Structure formats: structure tokens, C-alpha cells
Amino acid sequence: MHIKRIQKELMEEIERLRRVEQYLVHESEKNVRSSNQGDRDKERESNRGDRDKERESNRGDRDKERVGIRGDREKERLRCAKKGNYYRYYLGNRYLNKSQMNLVREEANREYREKLIRPVRTKIVKLEHLLKDLSGEWYEPENVYDKLHPARKQLVDPIVPPAEEYIKRWLNEPYEIWEIRDEEVSGALYSQNGERVRSKSELIIADTLARYGVPYKYEYPLKLKNGSGVVTKRPDFVALNKTTLEMVIIEHLGMLDQERYYRNNIEKIDIYEKNGYLIGKNLLLLHETSYNALDTGLVERYIEQFLL
């Protein structure tokens, strides 16, 4: 189960590094084009004749420096030297003054990107090799039970059951269901899985979880530490991440514009966090007020991000 989580994180990191690599390659090619254009411009300048040479010589030291920097960029490196409380910058042996700080930054960033591309590519290759190694069946302990003869499966109590078996056991685990009285809700609302829920928003959440095939339980009692004691809290939903099989709490905060409701839920969230359920990791908070309805698209995005 944890191997699948690691594989997912590896794929996300490889994808992130590939985007970095594409950016670095793009910038490198842009610098090459700019450098080549600078060389062509310099060559054209040298062939314009004596009149143009004389005019070029009167343009000032700063323009000369810029032309020189463009031509020598591939041969010279930026150097930094401290003088008193300040840094001085040189391109090769050429001193760059304060008026040329844009050129200093440009060169520093170019050299940084140049140094970065190799370790980025190296890390991509190593992570791809690691991901390939982790794809072997022998890394999945649940496969041991799954490959047993059916007769042996009847005899063995699997310590690490296959994902489907684990989900089945988790869903079939009995628990006391809170009765919903008619006077507590307006109308009888039943989800696709058959449980009665307390609001239309909870119905949307339950049916969206079912549509994505995410295993969940409604108002499942969790025993949590609270100070020196233990309290029982019933989140609106607890669900299993389909990849890692880790349990995630889903709370629907439907009346956030009511002060007492808000205060009570803040206390409940505080208990969740002290027991290791952290917002944006294994604690998902869906919210609405009397003026802002539940965003169904947000429900789907949460499921896609944290439960698949």
C-alpha cells in the first residue's frame, strides 16, 4: 500500500522535473539564438567601412561594453569579488559597473541555469530507474496472498491482504449508525449506496464519492485522544484513498455563518489535528454558508487530488 503512494509521489516529482528541464532547454536555446544574433550584428558592424567605424567609436563606453559582453559570453564567466561591504562583478577581466547590473543579473542567471540542467537530468534518470524497480511484483506484499491457491486462501489469515480484500473488510466492519429522525431533516434523503444523510449537500458528497468508486463510511465513530482522555467523534465521512488505502476524514461545514456552529467545528478540527489528521492531507473540509452553496466542482477536485 505504501509502495503505491511512493510510486505516485515519484511520478509527480518526475513530471515536475521534466517541466523544469523543458524550461532550461528553452532558455538555453534562446540564449544561443541571442548570442548568434549578437555575433552576426558584430560582424555586420565591422564591415560598414570607416565612416561607420568612426560613428561606432563615439557611442560611449557602455555600448562598447555591451557589444563585448555579447560576443565573449561563451568564453568568459562572471566573477564576484568583495571589496569592503560591497561586491564587484567582472566578466572575465572586464569590470562591470553599477549601470550594468541588468547585464550582471542576466549573466548570473544564465550561468545558474547552465549548471542546473545537468543535475536535473541526472535526477530524472535516477528517479525513473527507481520507479521501474518499484514496479516489480515482488515489492507488493499483498501479492503473496493473492497468488495463493484458493484452498490455501481459506486457511490463511492474510497479514497484508490485497487492496480489494482490505477495502471489502473495511466496508463490512460493523459500527453503530446514528439514527436520523424525521424532525431533524427536511425530507428523506438516501444516497446511491443506501444510507440516509442529513442534507442535500451530504447527498451530493456521498454520491460523488460513489461515482468515483471511493470507499467511504457515513458518520463512522472515531475514538480520538483529547487531553488525558478519549472522545468519540463522528465525521460526516471517512474514506479510503484508492491508491494508498490510507483513511481520510471529510467534513462538510454547512453553516459557517452561524457563530456557535463555527466555534463547535473549530474545536472538533483542533481535536482532529492533534490526532494526526491534517487539513489538506488526510482531513478535507468542504464548506458553505446560507449565501454560498457547496461547490460541486470543488468536491470532485478534492476527490481527484486526495482520494484516487
What strands, in cross-sheet order, belong to the sheet with 94-96? 78-83, 86-91, 94-96
Query: pTM for the whole thing?
Result: 0.61
> Per-residue pLDDT tens for 20-33?
999 999 998 887 66
Identify which has the larger pLDDT, 36 or 74.
36
> Per-residue pLDDT tens for 96-120?
999 999 999 999 999 999 999 999 9
Beta pairing class for 237-240 and 216-218: antiparallel
Dist. CA 133–CA 85, nearest whole Å: 52
Dist. CA 251–CA 241, nearest whole Å: 16
Location of C-alpha cell 562591470: 96
pLDDT given for residue 44 in this prediction: 58
> Per-residue pLDDT tens for 120-161?
999 999 999 998 887 765 566 777 888 888 899 889 888 877
> Per-residue pLDDT tens for 223-274?
999 988 999 999 999 999 988 889 999 999 989 889 999 999 999 999 999 9
